[in-house]
Chain A
Amino acid sequence: MGTTFIIAKREFRSNFDSTLAYVVICLGLILLGFVFFEFGGGFWQQDRASLVQIFAQAPRGLSFLIIPVVTMRLLAEEKRSGTLEMLITLPVKDHEVILGKFLGAWGLVLLLVASTLLYPLLMFWKPWDLGPLDMGPVYSGYLGLVLYSAAAVSIGLLISALAESQTVAFFITFVVLFALHMVGSVADKMPTPWLREAISFISFDTRLVPFAKGMINTRDIVYFASIAVGCLMAAFRALERRKWA
């Protein structure tokens, strides 16, 4: 566990070594604020005080903007620059490298998720204290975000492990995550019921809706968790492949 954690820590910190990270984070928060208050009727038009807008928009913001940027470097850049050789020839197991990288990147995304708490805190606690908030959906909504981000980060990590360069990794991750968000909206237009079923089965958005409403389904949890575990195992295999190339 020791080395996993050290790798995670290094990975997490390395995000703050470039100004890019700060720019992306600030941009993300501003965008989210905008969405929260103005987009689709916005916060003020809702009859009930809720964070539904956050839970609907934050994952997209993360997927389209942040996760591809955070995950693209993880392995693609290390392979290209050769630092992977240095890292792996330290006394560390391959799966610890994967896990460490995952935790480092996931940690950053969770930090961003946590920072969205800023808005509800301002609104419902201090200074504005707009009244009581139904806490159930808040808890479940954040649980959904945590699970979703684990899945999305591990997808990015897997792609980074397979891609030749971080640019390629960025675009592929972006496209894959984009697709996983957007398929939900085409589900209704599908002619056959089984296709509709299949598409809403893989759709991130469809899976996230119940969480935002305060419903926690085991199936949804299993869905995100198995994506995360599956991608991490595949990334581990991809990393091991270097030995036999």
Chain B
Amino acid sequence: MSTDVMIEANGLTKRYGAFRALDKVSFEVHRGEVVGFLGPNGAGKSTTMRILTCFISATGGTARVHGYDVFDDPLEVRKKIGYLPQRAPLYGEMSVWEYLSFVADMRGLETSTFKKRMKNIVEVCGLATSLGKDIRDLSHGYRQRVGLAQALVHDPPILILDEPTSDLDPNEKAEVIKYIQEIGKERTILLSTHNLSEVEQACARAIIVSKGRIVADGPLEEIRAKSGRVRYVVQVHEKRVFEGGPAKKAPSAEEVQAALEKLPGVTSVVELPTDDRAHSFQLAGAQDGDIRAEIFQLIVSKGWLLLEMRREAQKLEDVFKALTKNDERRDRGRPIVEDDEDEAEAAAEDEDEDEDESDEDESDEDESDEDEDEDESDEDDKKKKG
């Protein structure tokens, strides 16, 4: 029980009929970790969390929370967890205070302990003025605050939060994220969200799921590096040129783009939206290279006016997009073809392939028609690419 592994999922599989919502999901979360649990809509984040909180059972695989098996010891597991379900469903007819004391009672908290805890919680969740209100009269954001408060009442060692900040205003979002960072030092937090900047702020590690599979799991740095690529943002003045330079009139967007594309190591140039003062482009280049000098030289030689240039590692968002792209394409009914700019995707594909193979070995007994279809289409995709 005194191990450092607080949450341990081992080959979790969940089927809804023939549909596979989770497919052999395995991960570990250690004490003191704040882990961002990411993935597109329908990826299986909530499903995983529901299994971990013993609300539903996995079709296959095991999970342990704080050393207790979710199947054998649901009560112990729940005692250790503070859980905020998605959309924070609460009893509307109760007042905030009534609801929180109901939860405290259910968790066997002494009244005095509860009151002491409430001071802190009210401050963090910003509930001071709403305690007497009926929950049904609260705005969505406030409901979510109550949901969060409810998860914190018993000061749990493990927090599982399903999109805790989705309805909060920016101030409260920042407050909650700050608090999560703060309490995350000695607690274990699994946090699902669609807001990647929050993850970058609060989490040192992220797990990305897509179509019920884990496509990335590791420290943010590692995940960002997964794409093996950096990007440059370049902004050139649209109206003016460098005085005394070779250029007589300001360049058009096409001109700049064409010139940038010719630079060595540049794999793509995308125009970014700006006001009508500047042309702005995003370039993708190999991670080990640095072509800022070349860019600067190019612009000087053309006599253009450089307004901004920066090199940055791929953002989490880009990696996220790359890793979950096929999912997205399938949703929109688009053919799954690879465009040249995406090595990251190819990397993710490779992983998928591995998993597919191991799948086929084991799952002969219960492979349903739909799954086979899916596998076939996967293979089709690969052919198209190849």
Contact = CB atoms under 8 A, between A and B. Distances in A.
A83 B53 contact: no
Contacts of A111: none
A83 B89 contact: yes
Interface in A13-66: 14, 17-18
Interface stretch (A193-201, A206-214, A217-225, A237-245): A237-245
Given A85-B85, A93-B75, A245-B56, A3 B106 contact: yes
A85 to B, nearest CB: 5
Closest 5 CB pairs of A and B: A82-B89, A17-B93, A243-B57, A91-B78, A89-B53
A88 interface: yes
B79 interface: yes
A143 interface: no
A85 B105 CA distance: 17
A6 B105 contact: yes
A86 B53 contact: no
Interface in B134-167: 147, 150
Given A82-B85, A89-B85, A91-B78, A2 B108 contact: yes
Interface string A161-179: 0000000000000000000
A63 to B, nearest CB: 25
A89 B49 CA distance: 11
Contacts of B173: none
Nearest to B58: A243
Interface in A81-97: 81-86, 88-93
A86 B107 contact: no
Contacts of B81: 89
Q: Specify which of A17, A90, A243 lies most central, judged by the most chain B CB atoms within 10 Å of its CB.
A: A90
Q: Specify which of B53, B91, B94 lies most central, judged by the most chain A CB atoms within 10 Å of its CB.
A: B91
Contacts of A2: 108
B25 interface: no
Nearest to A82: B89
Contacts of A84: 89
B177 interface: no
A contact face: mostly helix, strand, loop, or mixed: helix
21 contacts: A2-B108, A6-B105, A10-B91, A10-B102, A17-B94, A82-B85, A84-B89, A86-B88, A86-B89, A86-B150, A88-B55, A89-B55, A89-B83, A90-B78, A90-B106, A91-B108, A243-B56, A243-B57, A244-B56, A244-B57, A245-B56
A91 B50 contact: no
Interface residues of A, number: 24
Nearest to B71: A243
Given A91-B106, A92-B75, A244-B56, 18 more contacts: A6-B102, A10-B91, A10-B94, A14-B91, A82-B85, A85-B50, A85-B85, A85-B89, A89-B53, A89-B78, A90-B106, A91-B75, A91-B78, A92-B106, A93-B75, A243-B55, A245-B16, A245-B56
Interface in B54-79: 54-57, 75, 78-79
B87 interface: yes
A148 to B, nearest CB: 28
Interface residues of B, number: 29
Interface of B: 16, 50, 53-57, 75, 78-79, 81, 83, 85, 87-94, 102-103, 105-108, 147, 150
B56 A90 contact: no
Contacts of A81: 89, 92
Nearest to A10: B102
Given A6-B102, A6-B105, A10-B102, A89 B89 contact: no
A243 B70 CA distance: 12
Nearest to B86: A82
Contacts of A18: 93
A204 B319 CA distance: 66
Contacts of A243: 55-57
Contacts of A10: 91, 94, 102
Nearest to B88: A86
Nearest to B51: A243
Interface string A80-119: 0111111011111100000000000000000000000000
A2 B109 CA distance: 12
A140 to B, nearest CB: 38
A2 B106 CA distance: 8
A82 B87 contact: yes
A83 B57 CA distance: 18
A14 B93 contact: yes
A245 B17 CA distance: 8
Contacts of B102: 6, 10
B107 A90 contact: yes
Contacts of A92: 75, 78, 106
B85 A86 contact: yes
A82 B84 CA distance: 12
B233 to A, nearest CB: 43
B1 to A, nearest CB: 17
B161 to A, nearest CB: 12
Contacts of B88: 86
A14 B135 CA distance: 13
A83 B50 CA distance: 13
A18 B54 CA distance: 32
A243 to B, nearest CB: 4
Contacts of B90: 83, 86
Q: Specify which of A84, A243, A245 lies most central, judged by the most chain B CB atoms within 10 Å of its CB.
A: A243
